A and B are shown apart, each in its own frame.
Chain A
Amino acid sequence: MNVINKKNQQEMQLKTHTLAIIQITRIGDLIQTVQAVTDLRKLHSNYRLVLIARTQFAKPLQFILDQYFDKVYYLDTGSLNFNSPTGSIKNAVNSLDHFLDEIKNENIDALINLSFSNSSSYLASCISAKHKIGAYFDLNNKQQINDKWSQMLFSTVMRGSLNPYSLVDLFKNIIGVKPLSPKTTLKTIPATIPNIIMYPFASSERKVWKAEKWVEIIYKTLKDNTKCTITLVGAKNEILKSQIIVENPLLKQFSARIINITGKTTIEELSNHIASSKLFVGHDSMVGHLAAFHCIPTLTIALGNVRPQETTPYQSNAITLSPRTKCFPCFPSDSCAYTQCHHDIPYQIVNNIIKNLLEDGVVDKEWIQKSNSNFHLSSVNIYKSHFQNEYFNLENLSDGSSEIQDLFRTFYKITWSFVLGDLEDNFPFPKLTPSTHKELLDALNGLQHLFELSEFGQKYSKYILEEISSQTPSIIKIKEFSKKIDEIDNLQVMVLKTAPLLGPIVDYAKVRKGNLFGDNIVKLTESSYYCFEESAQITRIMYELLQNTIAEYKISQGKSKSNGDLNK
C-alpha cells in the first residue's frame, strides 16, 4: 500500500497541473469523453488527468479509461442502498465524505463538469478546486455556469435540436483543447469472412425499430452478401429481444451465419469483437461509439429523440440515416402514438449502404442517386461525416436542397465558431427551396428585432454606469433603467414567437445574463453590457449569413436584386 502511494506521489509531483473531469452519465458519454481527452493527452502530457465517474458505467470501461486517465474515482451509488431500510442518511453522508476526501487529496486545479445533470452539478459543488468549469450549484442553490462553451451547450443542447456540434467537439472546447481531427482513415479489415456487428436495440423504445424491421435487414443482408456473418450484440436485458429476432422463421436458413452474443460478453470482450469486424450497423448507442473508437466504419439509424449532429460516432465517413419526419428529432417527454419516424427510413436503403460498405465502396451523392430509388430517398436524410477546420461535420448527401434545421445548424456553426472559438469556418452556400427561402426571410426580421434590442440593452446598461459614476447618483433612475433592461429581456423571448429558429441566440443570452460576473452593481452592469454587446455581434453575423444566402438564391433564380431589396 505504501509503495503504491509513494509511486502515486512521485507521479503526481512530475505533473504540473491536475485536471479533474466529472462524467457521471452513461457508457456512451464516457467513450465520447475519452475521445475528447485524447488530444489533451497528446498536447499536455505533463497534466495529471483525473476522471470522476459512476461505478456502474465506468467499471465496465476500465480497460479503456485506464489508458487515458491517471486516476479514475468511482462513485458507487449502488452501495448507498437508497431503497433499503438498512441505508441511513448518516451512513450515506459518511460514505460520500470518504469519497470526497479521497478526491480532495488531488488538489485539483480545474474541475470540469461534462455531465450537465443536476446530480453532477451538486457533485461539482461538493468538490473543492481552484477553478470550476461547467455547471455547479452555489450556496444559494443557484446553478452557476461561468464558461462560454458550457453556457452554449446548456442553452442549445439542452433545449432544442439546433446544436451544430458533435458532443465530443463541445467537450473539447469546454476542456479548452483546440480540436485536432482524429485519425481519418477507417480500418479495412482484410477478412475472408467479413463480420457485421449489429446492435438493433437502444435505451428507449422511440429510438429503436421493431424486431420485424431488423429481421428484414438481416435477411436481405445475408442473402445479398453471401460471405458475411452478422454478430448481434447487446446487454443482458436485451437477450429476449435478440431471441425474437434470431428465432424468426425467415432467418432460419441463415442461422449458421448469425452469431447472437447478446448479454454474453463484457464490454471489453465486445470491444475486441468490434475491433476485428468489418462494419457496425445499429441504432445510436455506445456500441457505435466503441466502433468509432476502433476506427471501424459505422452505419447508424437515428430515430426518435436522437440528434445525429451530436451523437454520430466521432470519426470520418460515419454514415447516419435519419427520417425526414417533421417532428424528428423529438424530445423524450413528447408523446408519440404512431412513431412515424420509424416508417420513414426504408430498409432497402439500409441494405444498399451495407452492401456498398462491405464491398469497400464509397457512399457519396453520386452513388446515392445512382443506386437508390427516388421513392425511397424522398423520406430519408443520409449524412456522412468529415472533419472541417478540425471540427466534426455532417454533410447531408440526400439531395440538392437542405432542410431549414440543417441550414440553421450551419449558420450557427459558423457563428459560434467565430464568436466563441475565434475560428473562421467556411461552408458552400446552401441551396434554398421557396419554403426555406420564406423561413429565412422571417428569421431576418427576427434578427433585426434582436439586434435592435441588444443595442437598447447596451444603451441602458451604459446609462446605469453613467448614473452610478455621476456626482449624485439617483436610485430611482438606476431602477428605471434596470426595469428597461428587464423589459428588453422579455421582448427578446417574445421574438421567438415569430422566429423560433433564433431560440439558441435568445437562450444563450439568457444563460449569460443568469451568470453575470461581479459582486457589485458596477461590475454586474458592465458584465450585462458585454452580454448585450455579444448578443448584437451574434445577431449581426447571423443576419449577414442569412442575407448572403438569400442573395445567392436570388442570383441562382435569375432574380438578382440590390442588397436593400433582399428582405422584401
Chain B
Amino acid sequence: MNTLNEDLIKEYERIKKLMTNGESLKIDDLKILLLAQLAEEDSNERHQ
C-alpha cells in the first residue's frame, strides 16, 4: 500500500507532464502541488 507521500509524487509527475505540454492547470492541481510541497518540507524538517 502506498503512502500519501508516494501518491503525491505520482500526481506531481502527472501535473509536470501537463505543464510540459503547455496546458494550464486547474485549482485542484495547485492543491496537489501545495500538498506535495508541504510533504517535502515536512520530510526535510524531520531530517533536521
Contact = CB atoms under 8 A, between A and B. Distances in A.
Partners in one complex: yes
Interface of A: 77, 80-85, 87-89, 92-93, 96-97, 117-119, 122-123, 125-126, 137, 139-141, 203-204
Contact of B4 (A82, A122, A126, A140): A82
Contacts of A81: 4
Given A77-B42, A203-B48, A89 B11 contact: yes
A140 B30 CA distance: 10
Contacts of A82: 3-5, 8, 38-39, 42-43
B4 A87 contact: yes
Nearest to B11: A89
B44 to A, nearest CB: 11
24 contacts: A77-B38, A77-B41, A82-B4, A82-B38, A82-B39, A83-B5, A84-B4, A87-B3, A89-B7, A89-B32, A89-B35, A92-B4, A92-B35, A93-B28, A96-B34, A118-B37, A119-B37, A119-B38, A126-B30, A137-B33, A139-B25, A139-B30, A140-B25, A141-B33
Interface string B16-38: 00010000111110111111011
B9 to A, nearest CB: 11
A141 B25 contact: yes
Given A82-B43, A87-B3, 20 more contacts: A77-B38, A83-B4, A83-B5, A84-B3, A88-B4, A89-B7, A89-B11, A93-B31, A96-B34, A117-B37, A117-B41, A119-B34, A119-B41, A122-B33, A126-B27, A139-B26, A140-B19, A141-B19, A141-B30, A203-B48
Given A83-B3, A87-B3, A140-B24, A96 B35 contact: yes
Contacts of B35: 80, 89, 92-93, 96
Interface residues of B, number: 28
Contacts of A123: 34
A204 B41 CA distance: 16
A140 B26 CA distance: 9
B42 A122 contact: no
* Most A-side CB within 10 Å, residue of B5, B30, B41: B30
A88 B4 CA distance: 5
A316 to B, nearest CB: 33
Nearest to A118: B37
A141 B26 CA distance: 10
B3 A122 contact: no
Nearest to A25: B41
A139 B30 CA distance: 8
A80 B38 contact: yes
Contacts of B2: 85
The 6 A-B residue pairs with the shortest CB-CB distance in the complex, in nearest-first order: A87-B4, A122-B34, A119-B37, A85-B1, A82-B39, A139-B24
Contacts of A87: 3-4
A89 B29 CA distance: 12
* Most A-side CB within 10 Å, residue of B1, B15, B26, B42: B42
A96 B33 CA distance: 12
B36 to A, nearest CB: 9
Contacts of A84: 3-4
A139 B33 CA distance: 11
B41 to A, nearest CB: 6
B33 to A, nearest CB: 5
Contacts of A117: 37, 41
B29 to A, nearest CB: 8
B34 A126 contact: yes
A137 B42 CA distance: 21
A126 B39 CA distance: 17
* Most A-side CB within 10 Å, residue of B1, B35, B41, B48: B35
A92 B7 CA distance: 11
A301 to B, nearest CB: 20
A93 B3 contact: no
B46 to A, nearest CB: 8
Contacts of B42: 77, 82
B10 to A, nearest CB: 9
A126 B43 contact: no
Contacts of B1: 85
Nearest to A87: B4
Contacts of B25: 139-141
A87 to B, nearest CB: 3
Contacts of B3: 82-85, 87
A96 B31 contact: yes
A87 B38 CA distance: 14
Contacts of B31: 93, 96-97, 122, 126
A91 to B, nearest CB: 8
B28 to A, nearest CB: 7
Nearest to B46: A83
Contacts of A77: 38, 41-42
Contacts of B43: 82-83
A80 B7 CA distance: 13
A137 B32 contact: no
B7 to A, nearest CB: 5
Contacts of A89: 4, 7-8, 11, 32, 35
A198 to B, nearest CB: 22
Contacts of B38: 77, 80, 82, 119
B15 to A, nearest CB: 8
